[in-house]
A and B are shown apart, each in its own frame.
Chain A
Amino acid sequence: MGPLIPMGIIPDQWNSVMAVLIGVAFGFVLESSGFSSSRKIVGLFYGYDFTVLRVFFTAAVTTAVGLAYFSYVGWIDMSLAYIHPTYLTAAIVGGLIMGLGFITGGFCPGTSLCAVAIGKIDGIIFTIGLMLGIFIFSEGYPVWEGLYNGNYLGSVKVTESLGISDNLFIFLFAVMALAAFYVTSLIGRRIKEVNY
């Protein structure tokens, strides 16, 4: 059955149309969840608003569980799905830099686009900065090429490196997410409210 486009069930020409439709849904949900507000997003790191954590992990768990069922029933052939490749050094170093950008800028690329769409000037500046960052990276590519390509492990799954079954890992992931939701709901009550 799926994925529909790689399997040729939906012809390739529809790919762009699908992209726009999926984007509309993505943007709508992000904005409606409050991701167009940098102060709401950053609340996670100061403990006054856990929206990002809740939305993000609920989404990740929903998709992981959904894909596991889809794959079990045979609706989707996961060998055709794009598995984000693992470049060990780059994944960690890039993540650390992005974290720093997150706390200073208050957005990530997807949320900054939502902010742009509703007229946030900080979102527009962030997006311009984003492109500038990409430009700097591209211009200096030879300098960090080694870092970029270092420790390539292929499209490894986290379960392969831990040596447990996919489904068990998804279950543990779901339990951890729920535990995090519970703990943050306790913290949320104690912390001084920030009005924004």
Chain B
Amino acid sequence: MDTNHKDRSKVYFNPYFGGVLLGMVLLATFYITGRGLGASGAAKSTVVAVVDRFAPEHAENSGYYSQFLSDDNHPLNTWLVFEVIGVLAGAFLSGAISGRLKLKTEHNPKITNKRRLLFAGIGGVLFGFGAQVARGCTSGAALSGAAVLSLGGFLTMLAIFGSAYAFAWFFRKLWI
């Protein structure tokens, strides 16, 4: 990157430094709560809450939603939802400090805005679906799972990165 004019918004942590910090956050999480980090679980809770709000009977009868519903607890009252609220706040803070707060669509200049958003949506759907199948996403299954040496965590990690590499060639126009 060009070092002549320093764009503050592009200055990130050294990746190894960031990695050690992230590792310490995860370590502290295990030490304090006995569980790992997560992200997609909060999205699941949101979906469950919305479905339960608008179609409670349907949610009760569904084999999947009903696993996450209980009488004495609102579906949004879960650990991961609180954690994700924190994530949003923390990321906002970091972005504010480094001057990265800006409403924009980031994309390869060779593709249009619309195309980028379309594929972001498709990617989101696939990721959401896959995260339910594997019971966790990159943070919950792969990172937290690998840190406690879970076999499932390692397999999911390898599968995510392996398949992303395998499909990278087909979607190269999107990115480079």
Contacts and interface: CB of A to CB of B under 8 A. Distances in A.
Interface of A: 2-6, 10, 15-16, 18-34, 36-40, 42, 44-46, 48, 50-51, 54-64, 66-67, 70, 75-76, 78, 80-88, 90-114, 116-123, 125-139, 141-142, 144-145, 147-148, 153, 155-161, 166, 169-170, 181, 194-196
Contact of A20 (B25, B83, B95, B176): B83
Interface-central residue, A10, A22, A129, A134, by most chain B CB under 10 Å: A134
Given A10-B32, A98-B159, A63 B153 contact: no
Nearest to A55: B19
Contacts of A85: 135, 150, 152
A105 B162 CA distance: 16
A131 B124 CA distance: 8
Contacts, number: 537
A130 B165 contact: no
Given A45-B168, A119-B102, A86 B31 contact: no
B49 to A, nearest CB: 11
A104 B126 contact: yes
Given A104-B123, A118-B91, A138-B48, 19 more contacts: A16-B82, A31-B90, A39-B106, A42-B175, A55-B18, A56-B142, A82-B35, A94-B132, A96-B163, A104-B171, A105-B120, A106-B123, A107-B124, A110-B87, A116-B91, A122-B117, A128-B121, A134-B43, A139-B62
B161 A99 contact: yes
Using C-beta atoms within 8 Å of the partner chain, give the interface range for chain B. Answer: 35 or more
Interface on chain A toward B: helix, strand, loop, or mixed SS? helix
A144 B130 CA distance: 12
B124 A29 contact: no
Given A3-B33, A108-B139, A28 B47 contact: no
Interface string B126-152: 111111111111111111111111111
B162 A99 contact: yes
Interface string B79-108: 110111111111111110010111111111
B34 A5 contact: yes
Given A28-B93, A96-B163, A119-B102, A158 B32 contact: no
A83 B117 CA distance: 36
18 contacts: A19-B86, A23-B86, A32-B98, A33-B18, A62-B26, A76-B30, A90-B135, A91-B159, A92-B156, A94-B133, A94-B159, A96-B130, A103-B167, A107-B123, A107-B124, A132-B121, A132-B128, A134-B47
Contact of A55 (B22, B43, B119): B22
A3 B160 contact: no
Given A5-B33, A26-B90, A58-B15, A36 B159 contact: no
Contact of A101 (B21, B93, B95, B124): B124
